[in-house]
Structure 1
Amino acid sequence: MKSSLLHHKTYICAPNADWLVFIHGAGGSSATWFKQVRYFRQYYNIVLVDLRGHGESTSRDPNNNSQRYSFSLVTQDVIDLLDFLNIKSAHFVGMSMGTIIVRTLIEIRPALVKTMILAGATVKLNCYAQGLITIGNLFKDILPYMWLYRFFAFVVMPQRCQKEARNIFINEARKLNKEEFKRWFALTKDAQTILKRHRKLAPQAPTIYIMGDKDRFFLEAVVQNVSRHETSHLKVMVNCGHVCNIEQPDRFNQIAEEFLSQYR
């Protein structure tokens, strides 16, 4: 395997099975999909990806601390990996910031995307999210990055039912270093412009949003966005927060498979 590629794991169901690619959110890793792997590997060939600087993937340029990330740059990492694996088309599942990467990927290489499952989707930064970004920008050079990340995790996932997801993301975020955290956090500067474009453009592939009804940061914007795009559908999971694939994995898997089975 080329050392420049993202760390990844593949699970092969059958030579002719469809590919299913999982893209985690900022601070997470491919480990956050462990409740999906056992279920979906029965039906699909699976690719689990660690984005640059996350999980087992190293920074792509560890000696260049000034390198600025962009959504196009981190998305190209994923495309390069899929090209290396000779995957011509796949279904994509994204979580949180990972949904922005999936949407960016279909802009860059539309033929690669059969369908999109966008969970805990980020389509607009509301006042709460913008407030968190402001706090992060004020303190990212002063406080240890894990203090900030732990604070963000508790604000976004505050409820008891979200404890497992919160703890998993905090543990995975420890694999980042401070410089990598700051590079990924800097992506929020570009997010508003990119999200505005995504809201205007209807997805170029069949799309389902899976959201928790207690996701106070992102649900409202998704509801508004789906109503404008005929190719998009929305499923809201009751008594569930932002990281719905961990909080209610069985229900999440059922919704995702009902959608995917229409296009398999």
Structure 2
Amino acid sequence: MLHYRTYEAGPDAPWVTFVHGAGGSSSIWHKQIREFRKEHNVLLVDLRGHGKSEQGQWQKGDTFLDVSNEVVEVLDELNIESTHIIGMSLGTIIAQTMADHHPERIKSLILGGAIIRLDIRTKVLLWIGRASKRIIPYMTLYKLFAYIIMPKKEHEHSRLVFVNEAKKMCQKEFVKWLSLTRVINPYLSNLQASTTHIPTLFLMGDEDYLFIPPVEEVVRRYDTFEFIPIEKSGHVCNIDQPEQFNEHSINYIAKIEQQYKEKEAI
């Protein structure tokens, strides 16, 4: 089972599950924990091969569904019937996969630095990574990815956090995660179409130049999706601007919780 930590505010408090991205760990949420644990039950997970979770768990043919089911196993272990999910970067794909296959468990999705489609630049970058993954040391590739995705000086802290966390991985784990991106665009298109019934908030740094355009497009297409730009922030907006990220996330969860209470009262 995945390594996890919980902070419980009380039996009536809503659960919020945090899912980090590739190369990170649950420690990337350290700027969220203090605020969220005041009125929410918080669940932090380390995805397979990350943080304190065990490495070497990959089986041939594993997909995003297999990875997301491991998070659901933690929910089962803790008897969490339903939860809000906050994902970051590649963790947003895990979150959307959970919503697609276990919609009854998901109250809402808050997707930070969401990856919902890859443009030609990102696809070329990932192709180079897959082509050279067994030749070039994975940390060299990861540092290159981090710099291209988060190029500005004000993104330096976010880059350092993710690079330092990625050092805890091994080459084989990085290769396995990278291989999941091979057919990612068709998969992501299906995810958006199949999760429109789940309340979803996209929180994107206004300097997240690679991933904002697809989000703006999909929000225009589906009226159940909302989008809030985080000012002066790059891809990892929960670290770049934690106050804005926390405020928007907590307000959104409160709104969804109120909607659930109103439905129950009818």
Provide TM-score, normalisation by structure 2: 0.94
Residue 150 (structure 1) aligns with: 143
Task: Name the CA distance, whole Å, in 1 between partners of 2:7 and 2:193.
Answer: 36
Q: Name the SS for the 1:188 alignment partner.
A: coil
Aligned: 1:29 with 2:25: yes
Task: Name the CA distance, whole Å, in 2 between partners of 1:85 and 1:237.
Answer: 33
Matching of residues 197-212 of structure 1 within 5 Å: 197-212=190-205
Q: Name the SS for the 2:255 alignment partner.
A: coil
User: Which structure 1 residue ranges, 4+ long, deviate > 6 Å from structure 2?
Assistant: none
Q: Name the SS for the 1:22 alignment partner.
A: strand
Residue 160 (structure 1) aligns with: 153
Q: Name the SS for the 1:214 alignment partner.
A: coil
Q: Which amino acid aligns with 2:41?
A: N
Aligned: 1:222 with 2:211: no
Task: Name the CA distance, whole Å, in 2 between partners of 1:90 and 1:207.
Answer: 13
Q: Which residue of 7, 13, 16 corresponds with 2:9?
A: 13
Residue 111 (structure 2) aligns with: 118
Gaps of 5+ in 1: none
Matching of residues 38-117 of structure 1 within 5 Å: 38-59=34-55, 61=57, 67-117=60-110
Residue 169 (structure 1) aligns with: 162
Q: Residues 19 and 202 from structure 1, CA distance in 2 versus in 1: closer, same or farther, beyond 3 angstroms?
A: closer
Q: Name the SS for the 1:211 alignment partner.
A: strand
Gaps of 5+ in 2: 258-266
- CA contact under 8 A between 1:212 and 1:236: conserved in structure 2? yes
- CA contact under 8 A between 2:56 and 2:173: conserved in structure 1? no
Q: 1:43-73: CA deviations, max 9, x gaps?
A: 1000000000000001253xx7x63431011
Q: 1:73-103: CA deviations, max 9, x gaps?
A: 1001001111011000000000011111111
- CA contact under 8 A between 1:202 and 1:229: conserved in structure 2? no
Task: Name the CA distance, whole Å, in 2 between partners of 1:188 and 1:133.
Answer: 8
- CA contact under 8 A between 1:202 and 1:231: conserved in structure 2? no
Give 1:176 deviation, angstroms. Answer: 0.7
Task: Name the CA distance, whole Å, in 2 between partners of 1:233 and 1:192.
Answer: 21
Deviates more, 1:72-81 or 1:132-141: 132-141
RMSD (Å), alpha carbons: 1.2
**Sequence identity percentage:** 40
Task: Name the CA distance, whole Å, in 2 between partners of 1:48 and 1:202.
Answer: 23
Aligned: 1:233 with 2:226: yes
Residue 261 (structure 2) aligns with: none
Q: Which residue of 232, 236, 239 corresponds with 1:246?
A: 239
